[in-house]
A = this chain, B = another copy of it.
Amino acid sequence: MGYAAFLERMGQVNDLLNAKSILSWDANTMMPPGGAVTRAKQMATLMGLARDVLVSDETRSLLDKAEGEVSSTPDGSVERTICAQTRDAIDYHLRIPSDLIRKRTELGGLGHDIWAEARKNDDFAAFTPLLEETVALNREMAEHIGYDAHPYDALMYRFEPGETMATLKTLFATLREGLLPLLRKVQGADTPRIDFLQRNYPAQQQLAFGISMARKLGYDLHRGRLDLTVHPFEVSFTRNDVRITTRIVEDWMPGSLFGTLHEAGHGLYEQFADPAFVRTPLATDLIGFYAVSGVSFGAHESQSRLFENQVGRSREFWELNFAEAKAAFPEQLADVDATAFWRGVNRVKPGFIRVEADELTYDFHIMLRVDIEAALVDGSLSVKDLPEAWNAKIKEYLDLDVPNNRLGVLQDVHWSSGQIGTFCNYTIGNVMAGQLFAKAREDAAVADGLARADYTPVREWMTEHVHRHGRRYTRDELLVRATGRTLDPAPYVAHLTQKYSEVYGV
């Protein structure tokens, strides 16, 4: 009884966080403009109550009883894992003074408008005081959370638990070593045709084609839906209701198509979590306070990147599915074949803006941000020197001269929300996607499915090794169970090397 009562209590925390996600989805898709101010308060109340319920005396007393009751189950049992994760989360939240959370929330509340104005006016100085305060606050936060080697490790804990600057340093070095020479070669080669991707693709047809491809990958509309938003995202309200959004640009067809596959990949992680974990802590991020089954932001990104890039941008995929694209867009694709289409959607073009970056240059945008954030937090870089450091890295990695801060240091919304530590997961997701997909392809059923446009086997492999486990195992435990090793960039570098050698003939 003790464990069951504890679980029902945690179900309420999950319900509150899912309710908050529903309010957030609605605010981004359906809410009339007048509703914004009161909606923010409603969401803040749900978050605050979720925290109150989690750290309350009642929950802690239920947890004590539950721990006693499940102590006879084997080490690593679902029950003991749930208890241990909850205790860890309660400890985490109690370490952070509520005053500090309040300050960060206030800062985040002010931040967006100040950042948007500064970006509009290309005025970094106007953003400086807020960013300095954000850095100071996050440094203080790191001290409360605690860390062994680097304060940035403490800040990453919320997004990528277990990740450290020490491991990232090695990872980034390997990526640079493998990818910079490849990028230089590609930059020296002829660029593929993309003119046919810039023709007029009407919104309704783009939506219909995008969702038909997402369904082919396994995204279940009985438990999902696709809507239009300015910034595409995936959000789930338990595995039974997992929604994705996209943005249509009528003269740039790959944007919505691959965006939809990306969000659908996130969606699969949630839709195929173990049904037994619904409303439990194994479907609740109790550290970041988000109702999600994915075990880390990086692990989540692995599934979006895998279905978008490893599957969706592969030569094999378009050899098999180009006929469908051509049926959907007969005029726009009249003078193109599958190979040209595949080459076009894999065009590399180093640019200033992270969110527009291609598969080969994306990680350089991330490495730059992580190194800069860590340096800000450990004090080796000051905010005023930030643009210079940024621009030097863009020159080093992409051989581009940043013309202004709008295209440089002011481009991302992240810092305006008071958050530091969120960037590494994009690259970790890429690396994990490469590692998991390489392993999955060793499975004959998966390889066979991919060769005949049947994506059920690869989805099932991911469900078996990733999705269904929810938050039961850590990211590295998951990787070891699935591939036999912890995070390993070799398959990802190999994937990019092979693809771009083919696309660019280098």
Interface residues of A (CB under 8 A from B): 11-12, 15-16, 18-20, 22-23, 26, 30-39, 41-42, 45-46, 48-49, 53, 220-225, 237-238, 240-241, 243, 278-279
Contact = CB atoms under 8 A, between A and B. Distances in A.
B279 A37 contact: no
Contacts of A38: 18, 237-238, 240-241, 278-279
A20 B45 CA distance: 13
B279 A32 contact: no
A11 B223 CA distance: 33
A478 to B, nearest CB: 25
Contacts of A26: 22, 26
B32 A30 contact: no
A344 to B, nearest CB: 34
Contacts of A32: 221-225, 241, 243
A271 to B, nearest CB: 9
Contacts of A30: 30, 225
7 contacts: A12-B49, A15-B41, A18-B38, A18-B42, A19-B45, A32-B243, A38-B241
Contacts of A15: 41-42, 45-46
A240 B278 contact: no
Nearest to A291: B42
Given A19-B23, A30-B225, A34-B241, 13 more contacts: A11-B45, A12-B45, A15-B42, A18-B38, A19-B19, A19-B20, A19-B45, A22-B26, A30-B30, A32-B241, A33-B222, A34-B220, A34-B223
- Chain A contact residues: over half helix, strand or loop, or mixed? helix
A221 B34 CA distance: 9
A19 B42 contact: yes
A197 B235 CA distance: 44
Contacts of A224: 32
A222 B220 CA distance: 33
Nearest to A49: B49
A26 B225 CA distance: 12
A55 to B, nearest CB: 15
Nearest to A31: B241
Given A26-B22, A38-B238, A16 B222 contact: no
Nearest to A45: B15
Copies in the complex: 2
A435 to B, nearest CB: 31
Contacts of A39: 237, 241
Contacts of A48: 12
Contacts of A22: 22-23, 26, 42
Nearest to A224: B32
Given A32-B223, A223-B32, A240 B37 contact: yes
A48 B11 CA distance: 13
A223 B49 contact: no
Contacts of A41: 11, 15, 279
A24 B379 CA distance: 49
Nearest to A44: B15
A503 B286 CA distance: 65
Contacts of A278: 38
A34 B237 contact: no
A238 to B, nearest CB: 4
A65 to B, nearest CB: 20
A20 to B, nearest CB: 8
A48 B238 CA distance: 19
A240 B34 contact: yes
A224 B30 CA distance: 10
Contacts of A20: 19
Contacts of A37: 240
Nearest to A38: B238
Contacts of A46: 15-16, 19
B33 A16 contact: no
Contact of A222 (B34, B42, B53): B34
A214 to B, nearest CB: 14
A35 B241 contact: yes
Given A11-B41, A41-B279, A279-B38, A16 B241 contact: no
Contacts of A221: 32
Contact of A35 (B33, B34, B223): B223
5 closest A-B pairs by beta carbon, nearest first, are A35-B241, A34-B223, A15-B45, A38-B238, A15-B42
